Amino acid sequence: MKIGITCYPTYGGSGAVATELGLELARRGHEIHFISYSQPFRLTNFIDGVYFHEVKVNNYPLFEYPPYSFALAVSMHEVATREGLDVIHAHYAIPHATAAWMAREMLREEGRDVKLVTTLHGTDITLVGKDPSYRSVTQFSLSKSDALTAVSTWLRDRTVAEFDFDGREIQVIPNFVQPRVYDRDRYAGSHVWGAPGEKVLMHISNFRPVKRIPDLVRVFAAVRESIPAKLVLVGDGPERVAAGELAERMGVRKDVVMLGKVDSVAELLANADLFLLPSAQESFGLVALEAHAAGVPVIGAGGSGLEEVVSDGESGALLPVGDVEGMAAASIRFLTDPQALSGASAAAREAAARFATGAIVPQYEALYGQVTGL
């Protein structure tokens, strides 16, 4: 099957999932065409059957903002026509599903058809989609998709509650991971950030406000008061600088390591003892799944899709959003009890196994087959 995939190429879960899906589909014999304004950050090594098509946006003086949605639709139409695509898979509703609908309508005017699958990843519904400026076009684009998927039951339920679907099905296909890639025995000792005996806490994200970065720093500061530890921050975004400044004010800056953007995090996670994810909400929490695959327990906030990945009291701990004291106490409890940490690590790997590539990707293949009849 020939499949076009459009995603945001920037650092974040939706782009990572879309790219890994495309690569795995190519390994299974499909022909994959990524269509975006830049090469996805996880698309570092091309394999047979994988192609990238860059969307060019001309910035005419007349336009206050470059019309990316139109340029994307034209690129989708061109790639679908030239390569004979069977499916366009839009990851993140706005503007990808909208552009895909325009491309499909142009193709239909020419007597061709391509099926549109849209995968919802979270903020495209909970933040962007709810914005009055985008709500109606989000509703329209979703209604025009041939199939809709969500990465968690929590996100599916939120979508149904926020938008009118007239009973239309949204299939839950969770994110996935290749456990062997995150086997910590492959990388143990490859990175040493502290002195012997110091525990390593880690956080990986795009450092947007929803991640509650100040809570993260305060949790670490409380942990640091009790035990020797380092906090390793991976990624970049609007609150990364502020994180360093807060750590400085709290007297723990010397124990915070900032690595910036790293494309492959498996080797880093293999050298962590605990993963912190105090987000206001996570539609799924791909990075938590990756941490679990590396045998790293997760301390985070409950009440959203993270509950479908992390088992509270088993593979980590989930506290109310903003409960810095509770998260710090849970972290200290794991880090000072080797038996509890070892048990949580084993539970984390077991949890990750449920989301292995071989169990999840065939669900997308089956969905493509349903909408195309191929």
pLDDT digits (tens, 9 = 90+) for 225-247: 999 999 999 999 999 999 999 99
Sign of CA dihedral 72, 264, 274, 191: negative
Q: Dihedral sign for Cα 124, 126, 127, 133, please.
A: positive
Residues 6+ apart with CB under 8 A from 339: none
CATH 3.40.50.720 fits 179-353, yes or no: no
In this structure, what token pair is assigned to residue 322? 């903003």
What is the rounded distance in angstroms from the CA atom of residue 291 to the CA atom of residue 307? Answer: 14
Q: Is 92 exposed, middle or buried (0-12, 13-18, 19+ CB in 10 A)?
A: buried
Give the phi and the psi of residue 61 in degrees, each rounded to 5: -55, -30
pLDDT of residue 135: 86
Q: Does this model's pTM top 0.85?
A: yes
Please tell me the total number of residues recorded for the chain in this structure: 374
Query: Tokens in use for 240?
Result: 């990364």
Query: For residue 208, what is the DSSP state?
Result: -
**Average predicted confidence (pLDDT) for the chain:** 93
Give the pLDDT band of residue 91 (cuts 50, 70, 90).
very high
Q: Is the pLDDT of residue 129 over 60?
A: no
| pLDDT attached to residue 128 | 65
Positive/negative CA dihedral, 100, 104, 107, 109:
negative
pLDDT, tens only, 135-167: 888 889 999 999 999 999 999 999 998 888 767
How does pLDDT run across 276-287, given as a tens digit for each residue? 999 999 999 999
Domain residue limits, the chain: 2-176+356-372, 179-353
Q: Answer whether 2-176+356-372 and 179-353 agree in fold.
A: yes
Q: What is the pLDDT of residues 31-62, one digit of tens each?
A: 999 999 999 888 887 789 999 999 999 888 87
User: Counting Cβ atoms within 10 Å, is residue 197 exposed (0-12), middle (13-18) or buried (19+)?
Assistant: exposed
Question: Crossing angle, helix 13-27 and helix 286-293, to 10 degrees?
Answer: 60
d(C-alpha 334, C-alpha 322), whole Å: 20
CB-side neighbour CA atoms (13 Å) of 217:
24
> Binning pLDDT at 50, 70 and 90, where does residue 222 land?
very high
How far is residue 167 CA from its own chain's centroid?
Answer: 27
CATH superfamily of 2-176+356-372: Glycogen Phosphorylase B; (3.40.50.2000)
